[in-house]
Structures are given as C-alpha cells and as structure tokens.
Amino acid sequence: MMKQKNVNKRHLRNDILLIIVLLLVAATGAAYLFLFRGFGDVVKVTVDGELYGVYSLSQDRTEDISTGEDGRQLNRLVIREGKAFIQTATCPDGICAAHRAIFRNGESIVCLPHGVVVTVTTAQTQGEPDVVV
C-alpha cells in the first residue's frame, strides 16, 4: 500500500512537470512570435500552397479571394488600420471569418475547406515579381 502511494506521488509530480514543460514551450513560442518577430507589413495569401497575392497592410482594401473549380468559394479579405481579417466566407465552418484580425509577423488565418492561408510577413521576404501591393 505504502509503495503504491509513493508511485502515485511520483506520477503526480511527473504530471505537473509535463504540464509545466508544455506551457513553457507554448510560452516560448508565443514570446518568439509576438516579441521577436515584430510586426509584418504585408499579408501573403496562398491557395492550396500556391501564391494568390501579396497585399500591403498599410493600405486599406477589400479583396475577394475566389477559389474552387468555378471560383464560387469566396473569402472576403479586409485590410483595415494595418490589420487583416476575413470579413465573410462561404465555407461551411466559418472559422476563418471568426478569427480575430492579424498583424504580427508570422500570424495566419487558415480556411481549411477552401485551402486558403493568409499570413502576415515582411515585404523583403516577398521579392516575387508578380507581387500586388
């Protein structure tokens, strides 16, 4: 009985250690994303891994990202006051439209049903000639 109690105690200690380590890893990741990567100046839109467009965060605009075979899948990307968000979307889950506005370098909004990824990045890393700014 005594032995079992010690084992339980050891397990509990390991549990707590595991939870602390996981939260620390998450905190480090968050610190890296929020503190050290700074703010981005453009958003890059990809559809199924292919570049769709790059838009400056400093200019307010509304862009309808149309995808799917007949282009009827829509995600309305809005850039306002240096932040980007999906205002409306025709996807079944609506998770992308519920996502808060992004502006930190590396932040992204994903619409899995449409394969759309909107990521904040910096203009220097986006040197493609077909860049739309």
Partner 1 sequence: MRNKSKTTAFMGLFTALALILAYVEVLLPPLFASLPGIKMGLPNIILVFLLYRRSACSAIVVSLLRIALVTMLFGNVMALLYSLAGGILSLVVMILLRRWNVLSTVGVSVAGGVAHNVGQILMAMLLLETAELGFYLVVLTVAGTLAGVFVGLCGSALIRKIPANFLFLDK
Residue ranges that bind Zn ion, judged by CB under 5 A:
89, 91, 96, 111
Q: What residue type is 98 in one-letter code?
A: A
Nearest residue (CB) to Zn ion, 77 versus 89 = 89
- In the list Zn ion, partner 1, none, the entry touching 106 (Cβ below 5 to 8 angstroms by class) is partner 1
Alpha helix stretches (DSSP H) within 32-105: 95-98
Of 7-36, binders to partner 1 (CB under 8 A) are 8, 10-12, 14-15, 18-19, 22-23, 25-26, 29-30, 33
β 116-121/108-111 pair status: antiparallel
Phi-psi region of 24 (alpha: psi -120 to 50; beta: other; left: phi over 0): alpha
For partner 1, the binding residue among 2, 6, 49, 128 (CB under 8 A) is 49
β 42-47/50-56 pair status: antiparallel
Residue 123: DSSP 8-state = G
Nearest residue (CB) to partner 1, 30 versus 132 = 30
Which of 59, 133, 18 lies closest to 45, judged by CA?
133
Interface ranges with partner 1 (CB under 8 A): 8, 10-12, 14-15, 18-19, 22-23, 25-26, 29-30, 33, 46, 48-49, 93, 95, 98-99, 106-108, 110, 112-113, 115, 117, 119, 121
